[in-house]
Amino acid sequence: MVPDNGDKNNEQVCPPNSHKNECVTIQIGNCGNRIGNQYWKMICEEHGIDFSGNFLGDNDDQLIFINSSFYESLTGRFIPRCVLTDLEYNTLDEIQNMDICALHSPENFVFGDDVGTSNNYAKGFYTNGSRLVDVVLEAVRHRAEECDNLCMLQFMHNISGGTGSGFSCLISNCLIDYLSKPFMVNYTVFPSEVGSDVNHLYNTALAFNTLMYDSSAVVSFSNTSICNVMEKIKYRPGQTIDRTETWDNVNRLIGQAICGITAPGRLPGQVPSSLEVIFTNVTPVPSLHFYEPTIGPCCTAVNTPFRKFDLVDIMSDIFNPEFSLGWANGNRKINDPPTKILCGAILYRGHLPVPKIEQTLYEYQLLHHDLFVSWLPNALFTNVVRIPPVDLCMTGTALFNILCTQRLINELAENFHENFKRGSNLNWYFSEGMEMEEFEDTYNNMKNFIKAYDQVSEKIQPAE
């Protein structure tokens, strides 16, 4: 769908370097580095960068804001602004043997010995993590000093393991003082069942405590949601069947969502916008900064060439809870009532006319008004980036701030409280330097956090 010349000529495209959204990415642990690996592959394609850091693109628009994610070396190569870290070397050693390794500076890789964290938050935060954190901070400092205007740090990690939870929290705690409270965005993979494993439960709750107060925005993903989405994609009408269900496909879908979210800061659009502005628009109360991501059209690399879609199809996929990649969708019960959307951002890519987007969105809201809270009108923020992803003519990525997050946090808090009061596996955490007071404070902080959702929920009761 291409707008006529009148629409195209009226685009308010910002000139080169008119706004700089320079960002440093920190990939932590096995999960974070595998997601990051897919993410860098995708944005290299979008910006026309090969794995040696050379620009091979055919569009000057690909270079306008490339400084947001890359810096240019003395030899003219584009190097990612990122730090890859893990407390064991296996994952990073594997990445160093891939073609994409040539893209990164050797000093971007920071890893420990083969000890790891044994699925223990305390080892990541107190003992094993403390031995490596200074090296990570120094690497982040080097990346930050290469920025003219550092606007954001983004983390990629999983919070069910010891490194993704404990070590991530240690790094973010240190960076708040180290870089004077930068805007932090966490792309976080939550466990599918928070009560199925005691250590996963503790790690998730303890990390969540840091996400509540240190992070500026948390985009939540769930392996269960993504696997469910991929299963549905396979059997959609007109789709091919991809039976190679691998973690690379899961990580690619997460990377695709992150590419869509970061696109307004990396590529020219009709209205210049930074990620900080976008996340501010989807946060009705400062403490309610947890978001569910969805993408449209929802299709895998194998299915893409066979899918026919338009703006209405993109809207349908975005608002379909069955295609949500988020934590809330992965933990939905069959009898759960439909959730309410507080507010959201829909980030479009492609040559799409803004009036048609606004009209389609307005008609959808009228038709599905029951999905939105009544007391917060005009709760959807839109942005259009004119460069679509590779092999697609148009896409949409959404971030929704939804009410059912409250129920999940409450379940997490109660399961956490029940287990640590029984003393389940606490000796593994106490032996690494943690104290019971930290568990109690985490539980109390989560209950206080839930009160913010209670206040918001009370506003919609009369409309029910």
Q: Do 331 and 432 sit in the same domain of this protein?
A: no
Q: Please tell me whether residues 438 and 399 are part of one structural domain.
A: no
CATH number, domain of 72, equals 3.40.50.1440
Q: d(Cα 464, Cα 4) in Å, to the nearest integer? A: 44
- The domain that holds 446 is classified in CATH as 1.10.287
Q: Provide the pLDDT for residue 15.
A: 42
Question: Total structural domains in the chain?
Answer: 2
Secondary structure (DSSP) of 148-199: SSEEEEEEEEESSSHIIIIIHHHHHHHHHHHTTS--EEEEEEEPS-TTS-HH
Higher pLDDT, 424 or 463: 424
Average the pLDDT over each of 12-16, 44-48, 260-264 and give the range with the smallest value.
12-16
Is the pLDDT at 306 greater than 60? The verdict is: no
Cα(250)–Cα(224) distance, integer angstroms: 10
Residue 27's pLDDT is 98
Q: Examine the domain organization and report whether 360 and 441 are in the same domain.
A: no
Helices (H) and strands (E) in the chain, counts: 18, 12
What pLDDT does residue 342 have? 87
Lowest mean pLDDT among 112-116, 200-204, 286-290: 112-116
**CA angle at 278 for the pair 272 and 282, rounded to the nearest 5°:** 150
pLDDT tens-digit series, residues 383-411: 999 888 887 888 999 999 988 888 888 88
Q: Is 205 domain-assigned?
A: yes
Please, what is the average pLDDT of the chain? Answer: 84
Whether pTM exceeds 0.85: yes
Residue 15 lies in a domain: no
Domain with 417 in it: 407-460
CA distance 16 to 205: 43
Confidence tier at 368 by pLDDT (50, 70, 90): confident
pLDDT at position 458 over 80 = no
Q: Per the domain annotation, does 86 fall within a domain? A: yes
Same domain, 265 and 252: yes
pLDDT grade, residue 432 (50/70/90)? very high
Which pLDDT band holds residue 366 (cuts at 50, 70, 90)?
confident
Q: What is the largest CA-CA distance in the chain?
A: 68
pLDDT tens-digit series, residues 202-230: 999 999 999 998 999 999 998 888 888 88
Residue 145 maps to a domain = yes
Same domain membership, residue 263 and residue 230:
yes
